Structure 1
């Protein structure tokens, strides 16, 4: 009999997340492998990077990025990383606690095998009961996003926040079980598709067609393509090229092979076609990618300096604006300024960059005119997805090994601050305003420079009008009548001098009766913050936002 997760967890809605951790084998304290014994809790392993193997009951199975493994209570496993891959084996480990409900289960299959039950079971039955079960979750990006959020929040001491963590886990767990339901796809079909994915990983350097892949596992081309995309989130040939290009990155970093040799080694017949696909995928040419991983680069990254500096690279220039000035919070006092508001500004002879990075809005400053000066990389991610911007920046600048430490340090800082604020704020409401000589801007709770940090990472409570008016917008303009309704307990404000005809114009609002009548103003709970620090994305900017909030509210 083949055991399914339903036999281990017949009532999944009674499961709770007992503990969760993120494990990087490279940083673990055990030489090459980790041993786990699932005593009274089931566990789920979600592989996020690298390759390796898992041994259970003397059976060895391969692990690779994208796999999700359920390990039943009572099982002992050994996980080993592969020494033949550059990416270290990394994964989430989730321990599940089951709420016991007394009922007659005499006609049901056992949900777990305890030590006392081992003696009454035959050897094959024990192996079946303790065998590993592979699960599915697509799209993969949604799976990782949910787990990342749960991990950040799980250490909270606030009992309502703890409930929120469990609700988020239940949402994730429900999707996982629904997509892994044998009724929607037979175990044999899942196994065949996984074998096809492994085949691609082993034979990416050969000519591969969709018809061949489909025929190998007995599916029509249409059925194979549909099921393959459901599991991986990619069309089959796109997935093949992704595997090839990721391998080519490793060869560019680790070998001195010529570009055309690397192209052939990973399955591209043409160096020209390889170069074109590589640039589409990585954002830069193969030769530039190799160079950046071997030497420091002189980079110009207007309004992306935060990301470059966080990775340990000092930019050759820092951007500034005639109205807003420069980003003082980055402390680049010895780095020359480049005024992006001067549409025809050019580089000085001693400050010509080797590499240019441009984010969203580059056309506002006419910065794409510098494509002829140096190779240019365009960041495609939205600012809220700063982690992905940091990862892509690290990839093109050869600093991938620093990313997890930078992100981890931020998340630790945010989690500690969130716990401290929960004890002090006790549900008091907050709003953020950007004030200029002509406008009052209210920032939303879900997007933008502010919302994801103060309302999500720090767990502050947005005023009801913030949620009602912005409706998931980054920001909205409000008038004095709306301002009068913003009776938040605390106000964070910053002043935009861009529309000021003379110094101080932007502060005239503070003399209005509508402002003076606000509860936060009367109670002295208005906090002015630095404009450039708060009107930016990036891990350094966000860290300083946390420090500001703690300074004012803790």
Structure 2
């Protein structure tokens, strides 16, 4: 109809009307269904779909003929959906949800933003803007994410070759698929499959907490010449690797198959080991430890354990919060990291401790914590500020990283500014383990909860 001239269209309409009237007067004619005017927008997309069907129609192969029938029925269904008079016009959000469902059903086919937008009657710009508002991703980013998540399932569950999986999920080449997969997952498709089928020898400095929580014992554990190792993890039988030694190398018997690094890798020059083993870089911030755990589980083939680990932590935090609410009753808390040269106050929103003690456990930060940190992870404070920190309870840990002699970091405890603090006078100062409190991870956060319950409940 879109290509008919107006006078031709009008003539056809009059003829069809006359024929209907003539038929309706015949006593032998069957009951007529109501006529429906069908339209397809955009017309160019309609023509493209029909041309594809027409090109395939000359085949003699029965499977390809069946494919033609399927393509036609999909096209015709779209035509009816656009044209059905009884269909209420949905709002933009409902139409976007419909488009998202379409992507989930057709991710293995060629999908363009123009077609997606036209199919629900939006301009490309409006579609893209609204799509990102709902999903957090641009349309083609979302399409690729759906394809790549499906490819993960196929890598785990099938023995299909990589190029076959690439084609099955909608990628035109194995090379492009491999590049996209590594950008998305952090490792290659082949390595991803291998990790889901066999145990992996992993080295994950300062990420051991996440690895161990998923039931994987690392082949090495990191240590630091001043801070020592993470004793709270209980890896007494695992050899140490001192990350503070910039020239440290792997021993022959401890070469890992896989390396995981967080955003602090450049501090220790650990990217030099990329040539030793495939290396995965964690992109999430430490506060988002749940996402780090999921990423770790994904690359190590332990996805089935994630929800149990997170669920156990959340149950533990909820029970502790309930107990603490009965004892604390609005009393305030602050956390200090004390070294030979600095006093560090940790904030209530970010950092190693804030999200746990103030959010998960619901403790009340002292007003100076909120006022001074202003959503920063931590700030350095002087003795004048320290004397204003009138929190009811103080949690402290000692950082020996820049101590010139044993115990120098504790000299603050002998100063009058310290002794005058209300928490000090009332005996409400609690020293905690440096490594378990200055780390992210479900195990370290669990230790924090256990310490707080022991001190305050």
Smaller-chain TM-score bracket:
0.7 to 0.9
- Give distance in 2, aligned partners of 1:481 and 1:214: 61
Matched, 1:486 2:407: no
**Paired residues for 1:148-547 under 5 Å:** 187-547=90-450
Residues 300, 483 of structure 1: alpha-carbon distance in 2 compared, 3 angstrom cutoff: same
**Cα offsets for 1:444-503 (capped at 9, x unmatched):** 111100111111111111111111111111111111111111111111111111111111
Where 1:187 maps in the other structure, the secondary structure is: coil
- Give distance in 1, aligned partners of 2:92 and 2:363: 46
Shift of 1:516: 1.1
Shift of 1:195: 2.4
Shift of 1:519: 1.0
Where 2:313 maps in the other structure, the secondary structure is: helix
- Give distance in 2, aligned partners of 1:429 and 1:232: 39
- Give distance in 1, aligned partners of 2:333 and 2:165: 55
Q: TM-score, normalised by structure 1?
A: 0.66
Shift of 1:513: 1.2
Where 1:215 maps in the other structure, the secondary structure is: helix
- Give distance in 2, aligned partners of 1:264 and 1:199: 19
Shift of 1:208: 1.3
Shift of 1:372: 0.6
- Give distance in 1, aligned partners of 2:119 and 2:421: 70
Where 1:353 maps in the other structure, the secondary structure is: coil
**Cα offsets for 1:365-391 (capped at 9, x unmatched):** 000000010000000110001011001
Shift of 1:360: 1.2
- Give distance in 1, aligned partners of 2:93 and 2:357: 42
Where 2:345 maps in the other structure, the secondary structure is: strand
Cα RMSD after superposing both structures: 1.1
- Give distance in 1, aligned partners of 2:382 and 2:261: 34
**Cα offsets for 1:337-368 (capped at 9, x unmatched):** 00000001000000000000000110000000
Deviation larger for 419-428 or 313-322: 419-428
Where 2:344 maps in the other structure, the secondary structure is: strand
- Give distance in 2, aligned partners of 1:467 and 1:217: 47
Deviation larger for 404-413 or 231-240: 231-240
**Cα offsets for 1:387-442 (capped at 9, x unmatched):** 11001111111111111111110011111111111111111111111111111111
- Give distance in 2, aligned partners of 1:229 and 1:476: 35
Tell me the residue number matched to 1:550.
Answer: 453
Stretches of structure 2 lacking an aligned partner (at least 5 in a row): 1-88
- Give distance in 2, aligned partners of 1:485 and 1:190: 51
- Give distance in 2, aligned partners of 1:488 and 1:432: 10
- Give distance in 1, aligned partners of 2:319 and 2:205: 31
Length, aligned pairs only:
369
- Give distance in 1, aligned partners of 2:91 and 2:377: 46
Shift of 1:263: 0.3
Shift of 1:192: 3.0
- Larger Rg belongs to: 2
Stretches of structure 1 lacking an aligned partner (at least 5 in a row): 1-185
> Of Structure 1 and Structure 2, which has the larger fraction of its residues in helix?
2
- Give distance in 2, aligned partners of 1:224 and 1:396: 33
- Give distance in 2, aligned partners of 1:285 and 1:481: 54
Tell me the residue number matched to 1:172.
Answer: none
Shift of 1:188: 4.4
> Of Structure 1 and Structure 2, which has the larger fraction of its residues in strand?
1
